Structure 1
Amino acid sequence: MQVHAFQVVPHVGVGPVKLGMSRQEARQAMAGFGEMQQGRNSQEEDYLSRNFRVAFDSTDTVEFIELSAGGTVAAVYKGSNLFELAAAEAVKWIGQDATPAPETEGGHTYTFPDLELSLWRSQVSSARRREGWSFQTVALAKWGYFNGA
C-alpha cells in the first residue's frame, strides 16, 4: 500500500490543496490521487479511501482540510509524521510554534488557534502503539475557523 506524505502548512494548506482554492482547483489538485468520494454532505469531498477530506464554505472555496490516519496518508508537520508520534510528542512538536488552546475534552482534542490546526483522537492511551496513543486526525482550516476571529 502506497503512503502519501502530505505537508501540513498552517495558513497555507495540506499537500496540493490550499486553503481558499475553489472547488474546481481542489479537484484538479487531487486528480492524481484517485476518485473523489462524496463526503458527509455536499460541502465535503473525500479522497484516498476517505483519509483526505476537503470541506468548502458557502462560497465554494476550501475552508477545512482533514487527514485521517489509516495507512494511506502521512500528516507531515515540519519533518515529522504526526500520526507516528505519541500524542504528547505531537502536541509538544507543534507547541514549538504555537500554544494550544486549553484542553477541555480529556485529551481527545488539541487545537492550536494561532495555526488554525487541530488534532483529534477517539480514545486516550499512553500505552505505545495502542489505539489512542497517537492522534487519528489532523485538521487545518482557514483563518477564523478555530480561533473565532
Structure 2
Amino acid sequence: MDYEITPHVGIGTVKLGMSREEVKEALGAENYNGSHRELDYYFDNSFQIEYADNKADFIGVSYFVKYKGINVFNTRAEELFEPISSSEDQKHEYNPYRYIFPKQIVTLWEADEQYDKTGQESRPIWGQIGIGTPSYLHAAS
C-alpha cells in the first residue's frame, strides 16, 4: 500500500478534519491498534492520528507513504529534506532531529539508520513524516 502525502489535505484515504469514526472507516477497523487520549494508531502503530475536537488535526506515518512520488521510507533523510524544503517560501537548513515546514505543515522526525528497513539500516531515514492543520502548527510551535 502506498499513500501519497498531500499537505493541508491528508495522507492517502485519511484527510485532515475527519472524525475518528471516518478515519476508522477509511483505514479499516481491522487495522486499528488502539488509542491513547486524543491519538489513534493503525497498521501496527505506523499510522498515528491526533485529534482536536474529535477531528483529525495531525497525521503521522512511519511507513507506506510518498511525497511528490518519492518513497519517503526508502530515501535518505537529507535527500527527502530538499524537495520538501523547495516547496516552502523560505530557505530551510537540514536538521536530523525534528523539523516542521510551516507553509506545508509537514513534519519530519528523527533521521536515523534504525529506520532504514529496505537498506539494512545503512542510511539515515526519517522515523516519521506527518502533516497537520494550522492549529496543530500553532500548538507545535
The reply to whether TM is greater than 0.5 is yes
Please state how far the C-alpha of 1:96 moved relative to its aligned partner: 1.8
**Structure 1: runs of 5 or more not aligned:** none
8 Å contact 2:48–2:59 — kept in the other structure? yes
Q: In 1, distance between residues paired with 2:68 and 2:46?
A: 20
Question: What TM-score results when the alignment is normalised by the length of structure 2?
Answer: 0.82
Which of 11, 16, 41 pairs up with 2:8?
Answer: 11
8 Å contact 1:108–1:124 — kept in the other structure? no
Which of 113, 117, 121 pairs up with 2:106?
Answer: 117
Richer in helix (by share): 2
Q: In 1, distance between residues paired with 2:27 and 2:14?
A: 7
Deviating above 3 A after TM superposition, structure 1's stretches of 4 or more consecutive aligned residues are 99-103, 122-125, 128-132
Identical-pair percentage:
24
> 1:35-92: CA deviations, max 9, x gaps?
31223x22111111111111111x1000011101xxxx32201100111111111110
Question: What TM-score results when the alignment is normalised by the length of structure 1?
Answer: 0.78
Richer in strand (by share): 2
The AA in structure 1 aligned to 2:3 is F
**Structure 2: runs of 5 or more not aligned:** none
8 Å contact 1:8–1:77 — kept in the other structure? yes
For the aligned residue pairs, the C-alpha RMSD in angstroms reads: 2.5
Query: SS of the counterpart of 1:94?
Result: helix
Question: How many pairs does the alignment contain?
Answer: 135
Which of 32, 51, 56 pairs up with 2:51?
Answer: 56
8 Å contact 1:101–1:110 — kept in the other structure? no
The AA in structure 1 aligned to 2:76 is A
